[in-house]
Amino acid sequence: MARRESARGLVRSRLFDDPEERRAFNEGWNEKLFAGGWICAGWPVEYGGKGLTLLQQVVLNEEFAKAAAPMRADFFGDTLVGPTILQWGTDEQKREFIPGILQGKIAWCQGFSEPDAGSDLASLKTTAVLDGDEWLINGQKVWTSQAQHADYVFLMVRTDPDAPQHAGISYLLVPMHQEGVEVRPIIQVDGSGDFNEVFFTNARCSKNNAVGGVNNGWKVAMTTLGFERGSNSTTGYRRFLKEWEEIVKEAKRLDKNDDRLVRDGLVRAWEKVKIMEINGYRSLTDSLNGTHNTALLGACNKMFWSETHRATMELALDVLGMEAQILTGSGANDGSITRVHRGRADYPVSDLQGSFFFSRSETIWAAPRRFSATSSVSVRSDCRRNPSRKKCEPIDASR
């Protein structure tokens, strides 16, 4: 309770309604989080965190989510690669990277997916070859969020082409600001460019930047993916609930809230949001019980929310009717860090229109149905063949 009240007091005292006040405040948000010890609060105290337990982190995330306050300085840094370095990294890697992540001074992106290696990640073709004291990197990544702003990328590369598919991969920390790295934005229908292609042409990083050792990258990467879930599992549904509430508001404004088809669609959408919330608690329970069904739950959850979001945003356009065919957004960014602003100034989509366009891509990058179904079956089959196993995860193809 004390932790909840402390977090609640922070976010209530730090958020503003006035756009100018909010813009000025946002510039120093990371510094304020760091000063209060709220960045990476679940990290061990010796590395600058508060040493919060998983449940305490859940409480913290819930309070920030209720206030629509941004919890993280850099999701990729403090939630994904930071904990991965703490678990797998050398002392030298921790000294070099952890302080910058903790202070929100290093921006990161994730270099996993490739044009021919999305769902089948282990088939990646980007290579890294030792050249003296450095890795020489060549290849391409795709769907790379925030690459245009990143200082570093945690990169999956093939370092042993003769090893079994999963065994010849390494996990490198590569600087983005160098001549051998080219970032090309993937322009969405609404003009936004959240995703990028990243091309590596003789790019370099230190040979000491292989996290977890050379050719052990698959295990390290699975750890990173596991950190995506857990402490934020009970708050992920909130953005979908907020959009649902906006659709209800539009239905009332357009006098469609008494339409049977609209009401039926809204009820079905609300039911699915509640299922997302319940799925989040399932993931949290899995983490607390140590049953390690992360792969199975993650595949099912991603497939469910991505397809649900796409259907819900189609409902939003049905509710808006012909009004959805014109651009109704302001085209201006109010400086908020509590929500994502989509679209360009010369293509002013509303929040619902922007979410509609974005939802079309989510069923591609989040969890294609074919892969998710196959992944889930693989996990279940492995558990059935080994009923005594407490840990049920996909079979390690490198063995």
Catalytic sites, residue numbers: 228
3-state secondary structure of 64: helix
- Is residue 126 a contact partner of residue 140, using CB atoms and an 8 Å limit? yes
* Cα–Cα distance for residue pair 394/384, rounded to 1 Å: 12
**Token pair in block for residue 81:** 């690669």
Neighbours of 28 (CB within 10 A): 11
Helix (H) and strand (E) counts for the chain? Answer: 12, 7
Query: Any residues with CB less than 8 A from the CB of 240 and at least 6 apart, and which?
Result: 273, 276, 305, 308, 309, 312
- The gap between the terminal CA atoms of the chain, to the nearest Å, is 47
Please give the Cα distance from 120 to 285 (Å, whole number). 28
Is the separation of the CB atoms in 42 and 115 below 8 Å? Answer: no
